[in-house]
Structure 1
Amino acid sequence: MRVAVTGASGFIGGAVATALADDGHRVTGYGRRVGGWSHPRGTYRVWNIGRGPLRDPERVDAVVHCAALSDDWARYEDALRVNRDGTRAVIRTFPGARIVQVSTSSVYDAFGPNVDEREDARPPRRYLSAYAATMALAEAELGGRDAAVLRPHAVYGPGDPLFLPSLVDAVRAGRLVLPDAGAVQHSLTHIDNLVDAVRLGIHAHGPRGVFNVTDAEPVRLSHAVAELLERRGTKVRISGVPTAAAMRGAHALERAARISGRRPPVTRHAVSRLGYERTFDLTAARERLGYRPRETNFEGAEAW
């Protein structure tokens, strides 16, 4: 197949583009940075989707749309331009292609726990970040098209620039403070599982709609974090603060940041993602996509 991958200069897009090229597909990766991805059997082009459709696109059978502004403190206008308007640009650039969009579980209600959350859950009335709000709008752009939307949660694995680094940076003198000490269940998503879901989704006229994509079973967040950091040579003592108190503190920091113009050290979005249960029902992906996820696995984390 001829496949275009947006966001190929990033963690998820790069992993997807490499895996599909390894599978023998003719892959064109797109990203904002010069030289953002390379593969012996692939090509790379610079494209900032927030600036509109590509003028001279290749003909492709499928598009894997991974590009997004995922900063939880981004201005709404910036997030809207990249996430919603960028998705419109992808649709206009490749009007006849099957589209697999890598979205996010952040589109679910973040003001409380998600317990075995299904894709048809009622949309929240408000969001904790422009990222979440505009990704929901981006998903809506694909309604009625030959498209599959994948919603992973906490993607990790080789090349991860967010989940593991943020944990490492938060360790102070061998101590890591998490909301409620991480005593909640989470459905994490290994990059290999997400890539497998993309492989299943790219075929023309395949199942349409929205699909949760995570590892096979939830894990206790504190246990997962401790194992991950220990494999990296960092032994930590995990302590906690009540999630409600952490949310109030983050809200105060956000208000101060809006006055100062500086990024807050902690956001409510970040506290919410860690402090409440985040587990997701995989029935739709298993039954309609044929998704067979592996268990959460930190093997090789020493080199990540």
Structure 2
Amino acid sequence: MKLAKPLLYRDGIWAFLMLLPNLLGFLMFVLLPVVATFVISFASWDLTSNFKFVGVDNYTHLLADETFHQVLWNTIYFTAVSVPIGIVISLFLANVLNQKLRFIRFYRAAFFIPVISSMVAVAVIWQWIYNPQYGLLNYALSWLGITGPTWLTSTKWAMIGIMITAIWKSLGFNMLIFLAGLQGISESYYEAAEIDGAKWYSKFWNITVPLLSPTTFFVTVMAIINSFQVFDTVYLMTQGGPARTTSVLVYYIYQNAFQYFQMGYASAIAYVLFFIVLMITLLQFWRQNRSNVY
């Protein structure tokens, strides 16, 4: 017993030293910026002039800011459309790639490549695909007798183009998570269903979907959080245009902070975004827990 305390004390010191770099990184690059942003959201500051507290003026200004209303709606629209479509396609691909196919590892790797690809390279490729004159997409549509739109310069189609790119970029990650969930389901359930004469759609709806619900919940939460934080796709492909039809909350934060130098207002928008994402995430957890109860 006398040796136990020194050993625990020594182990505790070593554990603390091992955790210290990560702890310092968290304090410097996460906690401190979060606290600083909260303080700045109640101030007027352009990075050069004197720091001046203005109370809740930045937040009240949001209520009358029509541009903020527009980018908030754009973000909600982007999330409401891209997230369900991306999840459905990812689940479908995961089911296909869960089969015993030849070269299955190659197919899985091929679908995951966009996830690890540079967003700059992805944006360049998709800008070429969307090009109205010599782009691959409009060329394919012309074979069907359809005149393709001017994708990224059209107020009607630009956001759809951004959604397609974002879905394609994240497809492999969601597919991989679903694939892991599918491989965790015992084959005995499907064998029993086959004995009872169940069709493939019955097995999918009554076995796969319920047993995959924790995985679906995780994918949905992560997809919604990521969609509300979309920035690089918009910045690289449209820069919020045309006529702000593709401008989203994070891009508007970037503009106010580093183009208009309104750091206080940008910080207020950032905290509104944080509150929206927090409320949606808590709602999802509440619904998940409620469904588990019943």
Q: Which structure shows the bigger proportion of residues in strand conformation?
A: 1
Instruction: Give me the TM-score of the superposition, normalised by structure 1.
Output: 0.22
Higher helix proportion (structure 1 or 2): 2
The structure showing larger relative contact order (alpha-carbon pairs under 8 Å, at least 6 residues apart) is: 2
